[in-house]
Structure 1
């Protein structure tokens, strides 16, 4: 199998990637980690000489703004790692799994549930790769230090992760943050922290001059947001039928179906998000899970659609506050979506936000709520 650095250089030579010093430094570091992991596996060079557990391999924490290539490097690392005991997962989904395993452990184990949960999560996993590590709630913050200490130091799991923030800014100003500080110390002790903050936002490069708001509804508008999806995810359009879907957990054992979900881009219909009974927790879960949302079928709304309009306002507030990028197909421009009905005056603020979300300045912002 072609290792990380060789594959990265092949992509540059083929013109699929642009040479980037920060990316190459990260590729070199990840390539070295691959060599270390392969040497320590049974039958590897070190495994042949030593029967005891070797020194832990140092994991990697890549942080930087949106579009700097972190997820791309993570994908290359995972794809080119020859070990089979590896797992690649979005951090939000992983923490949902952790809370469910904690619930089950409390039912079946006496005492501290963290050790059995860490043991279960590490079964047949030598390398755990996360995309978009972010901490938005105290429930996650309270358990992460102890959980990851067990995973890294007791279960010998190597962590490779990406984040939009340096470790010191995780859960900044969050409730009971003092309980989270040991996790920051753990990252800085056990993971090699790499910054990818070059001047080029490659995701914006891929979008090019493609507009984000498309009217009127119809085949042409749909084709435009479809093109945006494939540019953002690097998924082959001819394989569109195989784009994965997702059941996004939104708390209290509820989920919302995401028809198309890939690399932090989620596709939804207006009908699914705003014509059904939904509230702020649903929209916050979406805003945290996706850096880009494609919303199709936004209708012209009158007084009879006041409930849909109110939900739409709550949705846009959540997306805006988390700097989510929005691509949309709509019957008309934002200023004319809801001109009459309960809350139409307040809707003007939403229209203003929708207009701002189309700007270059907004599109350049990193994903995540500003503390």
Structure 2
């Protein structure tokens, strides 16, 4: 079994990645977890009962955005041979809630128990991207859930932008959440990835982020950006026409993560989401009845939004145009990076009809968001 540090070094020597001392320092810790997971299972006990797997201390990897946390986790997960799952933490918690709802419909008293038991049966490793607790319901569930996972020998590796002590900071009834924080610090190695470089920002620094017209050349350029920021294989980055139609219906490509945001009982679907980067069509976000709260949730959930196929705007698609303005405002205020393919330049997207004058402010913001260094502090 080739150690992760050698795989990393090979990729660096080939120019696939840029070697980073802060990232290299984490590799032995990931290798330890990998080796522990690969150890032979304990022998069966009396009466042939299968014992629980030996507990493996996982990792809580935290640090600023774009430092390579998700890349390191993907490198690790790819080279682990036990049953595993890698999932965005927000999407994972939505699945837990859905499973609990189904259990309640069956009359189960402890709705969390069957959901946790199913996870324990399916995986030995759970890898979470971007752990963040902002919801009181999640805060009340997550402690019990993780305790069951840890007791069953499921290893956890997670990334986060925050130190565990900062999770659910200032949240409602936070005192009830504090035991979970202590559990995290006890059961996982807490490691700060203190790289000075924001690689996600660097990938866009000086790069073209607004493409017009939205033709094959623009799509190919966006494919390359998507690949570079998400480490998605290029063969998968280029969607077929049928797959593009799937994405417009809110269905992600096989093997890629999607994200569904719950906002006041509504669902906001991001068909393609990975490493904090979302890729959607204009119609995904502006062709459906969404409002400011939905777009604020998107801006909060993603670091980079790739928005494709923005059409010319006017009276024929006035409602969609208004939503586009609201979306741009939300992204602008949050400092979220925006990559766009559009029918024309910002100033020529909305030339006549009600709202054309007001759109000049949106066009100005779109221009500003293309400037070098914009969003670096967002």
TM-score where L is the length of structure 2: 0.81
Aligned-CA RMSD value? 3.1
Does the 8 Å contact 2:5/2:27 carry over to 1?
A: yes
Does the 8 Å contact 2:270/2:278 carry over to 1?
A: no
Give the C-alpha shift of residue 342 in structure 1: 5.7
SS at match of 2:122: coil
Change (3 A) 1:247 1:88: closer
1:7-58: per-residue Cα shift (whole Å, max 9, x none)?
A: 2222233332322221111111010111222225347xxxxxxx96576321
Does the 8 Å contact 1:247/1:255 carry over to 2?
A: no
Pick one of 249, 252, 275 that aligns with 2:260: 249
SS at match of 1:123: helix
The number of residues matched between the two structures is: 356
Distance 2:372 2:177 in 1: 35
SS at match of 1:162: strand
Identify the residue that residue 309 of structure 2 maps to in structure 1: 297
1:116-147: per-residue Cα shift (whole Å, max 9, x none)?
A: 32222221311111111122322222221222
Identify the residue that residue 48 of structure 1 maps to in structure 2: none
Q: How does 1:20-59 map to 2 (within 5 A)?
A: 20-39=20-39, 41-42=41-42, 56-59=55-58
Change (3 A) 1:54 1:236: closer
Change (3 A) 1:135 1:248: same
Distance 1:357 1:181 in 2: 39
| In the alignment, structure 1 residue 203 sits paired with structure 2 residue 200 | yes
| In the alignment, structure 1 residue 79 sits paired with structure 2 residue 92 | no
Identify the residue that residue 4 of structure 1 maps to in structure 2: 4
Change (3 A) 1:187 1:351: farther
Q: How does 1:127-142 map to 2 (within 5 A)?
A: 127-142=125-140
For structure 1, list consecutive stretches of 5 or more residues without a partner in the other structure.
Answer: 44-50, 367-371
Pick one of 144, 163, 184 that aligns with 2:181: 184
Distance 1:312 1:290 in 2: 17
SS at match of 1:329: strand
Identify the residue that residue 337 of structure 2 maps to in structure 1: 325
Distance 2:156 2:374 in 1: 32
Identify the residue that residue 154 of structure 2 maps to in structure 1: 157
TM-score where L is the length of structure 1: 0.83
> Which stretch shifts more, 346-355 or 289-298?
346-355
Give the C-alpha shift of residue 168 in structure 1: 2.0
Identify the residue that residue 290 of structure 2 maps to in structure 1: 278
For structure 2, list consecutive stretches of 5 or more residues without a partner in the other structure.
Answer: 44-49, 241-252
Distance 1:278 1:312 in 2: 10
Identify the residue that residue 115 of structure 1 maps to in structure 2: 113
Give the C-alpha shift of residue 99 in structure 1: 0.4
Pick one of 321, 326, 331 that aligns with 1:309: 321
